[in-house]
Structures are given as structure tokens and as C-alpha cells.
Amino acid sequence: MLNNRPIQSERASTVRSGGLAGEASANEPPHLPSALVKTLYAKAAVPAEWGLTLERFGLALERSAAKSQRFSGEGNSPGSVAAYFDSLRLYDLALACACSDGNEAAWEHFMKEYRPELYRAACAIAGDSQGRELADSLYAQLYGLGERDGQRRSLFEYFHGRSKLGTWLRAVLAQRHVDELRRARRTDSLDETAEGDPPRELPDPATFEAPDSERAQYLEILQAELTLALSALPARDRLRLSCYYIRELTLAQIGRMLGEHEATVSRKLDRLRRDLRDQVDRALRVKKRLSDAQVKLCYEYAKEEWPFDLAKVLSNGE
């Protein structure tokens, strides 16, 4: 949460296509002019050895738009369509497409870049004894060992580029672990309390890729609990956080302002971060009744999309 500066997530620049034709009708993907596909393909910087054609990449873009709730209504302007495609993780989408097609060079790149991260994530989710098995089972599904209608089906087909590929993979791992626990316990709920009360009903954490509404719901829950935790802090602690995260003062500058040694400022900031994280974790698990996997997803989505106004929250009561 409050580990690094800056707090605000980076925003993509807008693609200036200049050639989007018409408005997308309800429940249909927007029409993609070849000029826009070429622009996005160039922006993705697709390595030639991946063998990914413009046509194949264009189909992936259209499928992404078709799955997005942003185009489920009427009146989608050319500007909103362009902004949507520009917000995608285009390089990650291209890699997923090439891997789905079975390109060897793309697979080698994927394994080199993501295999260590996936093993770490799987072990964090399921423990060391079951983590590697969880990750290995995901590789088989990503490669597409199963077939449908005589064709190999890869799990990569369900990645639409709305989040980082690494974040999507961790979400899939978390959901797979939740599914396995549910099957093992043969219950309808993973999160029953000691009193037998049912847990708070939330959408499952993205079987393949979380819809925009589901991601927003997890972020809303996390934001509400973090706001409560920050608002309850003493004014001096809020000032300390504001100086560091909002005004971006150095530890020495904050120390001079508060009459503290630089090491004391550092120690108190560390304590604040730990206390806030513990408090938010408890609220998510006890009050909101989220599972460990769902809590992890809250933080994963926050890394991707975080419309949290820290300055406004810290200024309350001052």
C-alpha cells in the first residue's frame, strides 16, 4: 500500500488514431480501422520472432473490447474507443497471443520472464509443498493440453490485456487455489466463520480475467477500509505521512519540521505502514469476511488501478 512513492498509478497517453469509424453499437465490439491496429501493433513493439501478424493482433483487440463492459451500452465515441485500446497492456497481450498460437520463441520469453515469479506467487498462495504443483498445473492450461472441436485450447485466450500479465496470472493462481480448497472441503463457502455465518458475498476473483465491475468492487472495499484506518490516525501521524508521500520531503526535512532525529522519522514511518497494513488486513478478513486469496487480489488490483486520493484523506480533520 504505502510502500513507495509516488502513490498515484501511472496513466497511459492517449492514442491519436484520427480514423475511428462511427460508434460501436450495444453489445458489439467497436470497429477497428487498419490504421489503428497498425498504430497499436507498433506501440506493442512485437518482436518479429513471435510471428504475430497484424490480423491476429487485431482479432485479439476486438475480442478484448467485446469482453469489456465499457462497450456494453450505446454511445461509445471514437475518443472513448481509442482511449480504451490505449489503456491496454499491449505488449503483454501480444505475448499471450503468440504463446496461445504455440510460438516457440514467445514461450521461451514467457518462461524466462514469468516462471520464477509464478513459482513465488504459487508458494505464497498455497504454501511451499503445494505451490509448485499449483504453478505446474497452470502451465499445462496455459499451453493448452486440452482440445475442443479438434483444436488446442490455451488459457491465454482468456487474457484480454486489461491488467498486467503477471497480475492476471496471480489472479488465476489464487482462483485455482480457492477452487481446490472448495472441492476438498465439499462446502459451498471457503470462508465460513466459527459461528457458521456465511461470508460476505463477492464475485469470484476472476476465473480468467476480472471484469471491470469486479475489479472496481475489490478496490472499493480496500479503499474504504484504508480510508477508515488513515482517518483514525492522530493528526501528527497524518502529517508525517503527508510530508513523506504527498509533499515528498526527505526524512531529514521531516525530522527538522517535527523536531525528531532522521532515524526516528524512518522508524515511525515503518511502524505506521505496518500498523496500517495489519489494521486493513484484519478489517478485510474479519469485517468483510474475505479469504486470503481475495485479500491478495485486493492488493494486486490496487497495484494496477488506484484512484485513491491520499492527500484528501490525510487532510481530513486538519
Query: pLDDT per residue over 247-266, tens digit each?
Result: 889 999 999 999 999 999 99
Q: Is 291 exposed, middle or buried (0-12, 13-18, 19+ CB in 10 A)?
A: buried
Task: Tell me the C-alpha to C-alpha distance, in Å, between residue 192 and each of 127, 173, 222.
Answer: 21, 21, 21
Question: Between helices 90-100 and 54-67, what is the axis angle to 10°?
Answer: 110
Q: What's the pLDDT score for residue 304? A: 65
Query: pLDDT per residue over 15-60, tens digit each?
Result: 333 333 333 444 455 567 888 899 999 999 999 999 999 999 999 9
Residue 248 sits at φ, ψ, to 5 deg, of 55, 45
Task: Tell me the C-alpha to C-alpha distance, in Å, between residue 36 and each of 17, 41, 85, 136.
Answer: 6, 8, 9, 37
Mean pLDDT across the chain, nearest whole number? 77
User: Is 76:30 a contact under the CB 8 Å cutoff?
Assistant: yes
User: DSSP class of residue 160?
Assistant: -
Percent over 90 (pLDDT), the chain:
36
* Bond into 198 cis (ω within 30): no
Q: What's the pLDDT score for residue 54? A: 93
If one compares 3 and 296, the residue with the highest pLDDT of the two is: 296
User: Residue 216 is placed in which grid cell?
Assistant: 472496481
Query: pLDDT per residue over 204-236, tens digit each?
Result: 433 445 555 667 788 889 999 999 999 999 999
| DSSP H or E run through 214 | helix 212-231
User: DSSP class of residue 147?
Assistant: E
Spell out the domain ranges in the chain.
Answer: 34-70+79-98, 100-185, 212-315
The CATH class that applies to domain 100-185 reads: mainly alpha
Ranked by mean pLDDT, which of 162-176, 188-202, 297-311 comes out on top?
A: 162-176
User: Is 90:50 a contact under the CB 8 Å cutoff?
Assistant: no
The residues near 231 (Cβ < 8 Å, ≥ 6 apart) are: 313, 316, 317
Handedness of CA 178, 180, 182, 185 (dihedral sign): negative
Taking the mean position of all CA atoms in its chain, how far away is CA 282? 21
**Angle at the Cα of 235 from the Cα atoms of 232 and 241, rounded to 5 degrees:** 90
Query: pLDDT per residue over 130-181, tens digit each?
Result: 888 888 888 888 887 655 556 667 889 889 998 889 888 888 888 787 777 7
Answer whether residue 99 shows pLDDT above 90: yes
Beta bridge partners of residue 147, listed in sequence order: 152
Query: Mean of the pLDDT values across residues 79-104?
Result: 88
